[in-house]
Amino acid sequence: MAVTSPLWGLLLALVSSLVFAGSARMDLDIAPGRVATADYWPGAADKPAILILHGFLLTRDFPTVQRLDESLADEGYSVLAPTLTLGVNRRLQSMACEAIHTHSMNQDVDELLAWTRWLHTRTGKKPVLIGHSAGGVQLAALLEAHPGLEIDRVILVSLTYFADIDGVATVQELRARAEADRQADAEDLVQDYALNYCRRYVTTPEGLLSYLAWDAERLKRALLQASLPVTVIYGEEDARIDKDWLNVIREGGIEVRPVAGADHFFDLAHEFDLLDEVVAVTSGANNG
């Protein structure tokens, strides 16, 4: 039987409101004309509430994050998986490096603050925050900017910092160029730079500098000064991880948990290893 247009529209609406089994789409007004969206799974009263953030320029549908969302929801956790807007209303797709980027770390932090407060209000629990890859840096920036925020603990998976871009430029060179562009009254004009894994990253000098500020030293300082428990989980086969840097923060008191055989993305062979690590850490969370 053919599906009529009204029925097809109804089915699409149903799929958009119930993206995954048991989840619902949540909207949050961030700024005039800009709405952020998230998937939310309500959980059991005796389980922690968890916010899970995707990596740089990605969305909550990235497989590493999506698998963890659904697995924790199946375990009975309340799970909120937002997608940062990056300046795009109701953003649903990952952004290309070559796109025009008008967002900044400060804007990302503001959105994370709004979602963290939303989850705290919704559940009555201090949330556990989980970030994958550069999403962990954005959570560290949130901790630094809002040290009194009601959070139980932070779990950073495959944590990286903004470092030199191979074959393009060092962080120092990129900073110097962006500072020169800013002083030349070009702060609102987009330029070709590089950032993280992007060999060509189009943004404003101010936007670039907001991310480049989060190098190894800045990230270490923010984590060591955090007033709540911080755990880093990483795959031992992750070529993107600076293990010497991890040893430094471990010596500073940060819990670091390696997973044998896993890479940066904790593929299907290791997704349950990641889940086991997260559940083990959150078992000490404050549920009230």
Residue that the structure tokens 């083990």 belong to: 280
User: Between 271-282 and 63-74, two packed helices, what is the crossing angle to 10 degrees?
Assistant: 50
Mean pLDDT of 102-131: 98
Maximum C-alpha span of the chain: 65
Long-range contacts of 120-126 (CB under 8 A, 24+ apart): 120/49, 120/150, 122/40, 122/49, 122/78, 123/43, 123/49, 123/78, 124/288, 125/48, 125/49, 125/78, 125/152, 125/286, 125/287, 125/288, 126/49, 126/150, 126/151, 126/152, 126/286
Mean pLDDT of 147-157: 97
For residue 8, what pLDDT band results from cuts at 50, 70 and 90? very low
Under 8 Å CB-to-CB from 243, ≥6 apart: which residues? none
For residue 13, what pLDDT band results from cuts at 50, 70 and 90? very low
Indicate the DSSP class of residue 13: H
Q: Token digits for 172?
A: 């120092």
Res 118: pLDDT = 98
Structural domains present in the chain: 21-95+104-161+215-282 (3.40.50.1820), 164-213 (no CATH)
- CA distances to 71, 141, 274 from 261, in Å: 20, 29, 11
Mean pLDDT of 40-65: 97
Lowest-pLDDT choice from 6-15, 86-95, 151-160: 6-15
Q: Token digits for 151?
A: 């959070």
| Complete DSSP assignment for 156-188 | EES------BTTTB-HHHHHHHHHHHHHTT-TT
For residue 169, what pLDDT band results from cuts at 50, 70 and 90? confident
Number of helices and strands (H, E) in the chain? 9, 11
Mean pLDDT of 24-34: 94
pLDDT for residue 10 is more than 80: no
Res 5: pLDDT = 38
| Beta bridge partner(s), residue 100 | 202
For residue 23, what pLDDT band results from cuts at 50, 70 and 90? confident
pLDDT digits (tens, 9 = 90+) for 73-84: 999 999 999 999
Res 186: pLDDT = 65
pTM value > 0.75: yes
pLDDT for residue 152 is more than 70: yes
Q: Are 107 and 92 in contact (CB under 8 A)?
A: no
Q: Are 208 and 201 in contact (CB under 8 A)?
A: yes
For residue 2, what pLDDT band results from cuts at 50, 70 and 90? very low
Mean pLDDT of 276-280: 97
Res 288: pLDDT = 53
